[in-house]
Every structure is written in structure tokens, then in C-alpha cells.
Amino acid sequence: MKKKTWRATLFSLAIGLLMLVSACGSTEKVNSGETDSKEKEKLRVVTDAAYAPMESMDGDKIVGFDVDIVDAVLKEAGYDYELVHVGWDPLFVELKSKRADIGISSITIDEDRKQTYDFSLPYFESINKILVPEDSNIQSGADLKGKTVAVQNGTTGQTVAEGILGKNNKDIKKFENNVLAIMELLKGGADAVVADNAVVEEYVKNNPNKKLKVVTDSSFPSEFYGMMLPKGSKIKEDLDKAIKKIVENGTYADTYKKVFGSEPNLQELEKQY
């Protein structure tokens, strides 16, 4: 009897302690949330890391130009974050449902996407180019007619290919990521890949043994990448300020030179601001 009571006391003491501890925890959260929510909130940043040199996996690390840029921007804006490789289609799903806070993945700002998402200021200029075997007779976009073209599903590369071959043309092969589209070209299942210039140019440079070349069609539209945000995102203003800041203070140019080995065209970019 005596023993039991003693145990019960210990038990309720333990419960009491636990409650106290958890109460402390939550008080702290509420306080920090009220005073400085920006500093404490950890943003979820999502990407499709199969698009070197913009974003790719190096072992289990995500590396690339976009990775460095989002890091510099979020440091400048004072946000803590985690960057996660989720893949291209899931990235859109996560931003639509507001599970993720930022998508950075060489995402072109376009009217269609603007209906569903918000975008930061542009941070990179891009154009689609055509990747073909060295001995291909394809010399322009128009030459893609009657050919088989591999693209990453849901990209502006697909839109460009559809503009030439027609929207539901079976000769446009769509892949979950751009690496698979290039593999299709290499194994002879496609005559060309349409994708962003930085990516196809990098591929040719790094894989001379694959005997591929890049074809430019200057009638393809110029595009700008932005960080994609859920509609109504409250961090847009902070991000935009930070983007301008890293362009101004030279961080952007340093990152650009490190990845591409040349100077960025800042005038063209700043024209958009």
C-alpha cells in the first residue's frame, strides 16, 4: 500500500515534469515566432537535381549554380532553409499545395505558370537549344520537323518542340528528367534533345567522347529563370531585395564566373528589375 502510493507520487511527478518541459518548449516557440519569425522559420526549398551545371547530385550533395544562388540569396535575406531533390513534377505539386516555400530548378518564368505560382525577380537568362549527334544534318528548329525529339516533360523545351512538330505529335518523346532525354538521344531513340543552353552546352563540353553538338536557333524565345513560389507567398519581397543585393555586391558575378568561367551579362539581367 505504502509502496504503491510512493510509486504513484513519482509517476505524477514525472508527468508533471514532462508537462513543464513541453510547456517551456512551446512557450519558446511562440515567443520566437512573435519576435523574429523570419530568423527561426526553416524554408523548404525543392529542386530537380538532374540538370547540370544548374543543379545536380554529387554523391548525396546537391550542387550547381542554382544551389549557390539560392544559398547566397537566403543568407542575405536571413532565412534558414533545407534544399531537397524532389524531381521536376513533384516540385510543382509541392509549390501548388504550399508544402514547399521555394522551387529553384532553372524554372522559366512564363505566363502559364504565373497563373498558378508567384516568381521572384529573374536571376538568369536562358534560351532553348538543340542537342544532336555531331554528324546530324539538323541546323535549325525547322529541321526538327519529321524527326524524333526527346524533351523533359513539362518544360519549355517541350513547348518549343511542340511549336514545331505540333502539340500531340508522337515524335516528341517526353521524359521525367533531362538526363533520360539525353540517354534516349545517345541510344538512337531520338534525333535531338531540346533543352536549356547552359545544360546542353555543359553536356557537350564534358562528354567529348559522346560526339554531340549544339545547334542554336535564335528564333527560339529568350527566357528568364526565377525562384518559383506558392501563390501569395509572403517571402517574395525579401527574396527580390536579396537578389538585387547579390547582383550589386558582386556575389552573383563571382558565382557565375566560378560555374561558367565567364562574366555574366548583368545589364541584361538588371533591365528586368
Q: Return the number of the residue (107 or 164) whose C-beta is nearest ligand ARG.
A: 107
- What's the min distance (Å) between Cβ of 177 and ligand ARG? 6
Candidates 48-56, 167-175, 234-242, 254-262 — which segment interacts with ligand ARG by CB under 6 A?
48-56
One-letter identity of residue 97: S
- What's the min distance (Å) between Cβ of 126 and ligand ARG? 6
Dist CA 129 CA 140 (whole Å):
9
User: Which residue in 46, 51, 164, 172 binds ligand ARG (CB under 6 A)?
Assistant: 51
175 forms part of the interface with ligand ARG (CB under 6 A): no
Q: Return the number of the residue (11 or 127) whose C-beta is nearest ligand ARG.
A: 127
229 forms part of the interface with ligand ARG (CB under 6 A): no
Query: For 207-237, b where at least 16 C-beta lie within 10 A, e where not — what string?
Result: eeeeebeebebeebeebbbbbbbbeebebbe
- What's the min distance (Å) between Cβ of 156 and ligand ARG? 4
* Angle formed at CA 163 by CA 160 and CA 165, multiple of 5 degrees: 105
Tell me which residue has cell 536549356: 196
Binding to ligand ARG (CB under 6 A) within 84-143 occurs at: 88, 105-108, 126
- What's the min distance (Å) between Cβ of 244 and ligand ARG? 22
* Angle formed at CA 138 by CA 197 and CA 155, multiple of 5 degrees: 40
- What's the min distance (Å) between Cβ of 131 and ligand ARG? 13
Beta strand pairing status for 149-152 and 192-196?
parallel
> Which of helix, strand or coil describes residue 67?
helix
CA distances from 97 to 94, 108, 111, 229, 244 (A): 5, 20, 19, 11, 28
Dist CA 151 CA 26 (whole Å):
49
Q: Return the number of the residue (65 or 88) whose C-beta is nearest ligand ARG.
A: 88
Q: Are 206 and 99 in contact (CB under 8 A)?
A: no
Q: Return the number of the residue (65 or 252) whose C-beta is nearest ligand ARG.
A: 65
Binding to ligand ARG (CB under 6 A) within 24-43 occurs at: none
CA distances from 35 to 42, 43, 166 (A): 15, 18, 55
Dist CA 43 CA 239 (whole Å):
12
User: Which residue in 148, 178, 233, 255 binds ligand ARG (CB under 6 A)?
Assistant: 178
- What's the min distance (Å) between Cβ of 22 and ligand ARG? 41
Binding to ligand ARG (CB under 6 A) within 193-222 occurs at: 196
Kindly state the number of chain residues that form the binding site for ligand ARG, as judged by CB under 6 A: 16
Q: Which three cell numbers stand for residue 228?
A: 518559383
Q: Given the rule CB under 6 A, which residues bind ligand ARG?
A: 48, 50-51, 55, 88, 105-108, 126, 152, 155-156, 177-178, 196
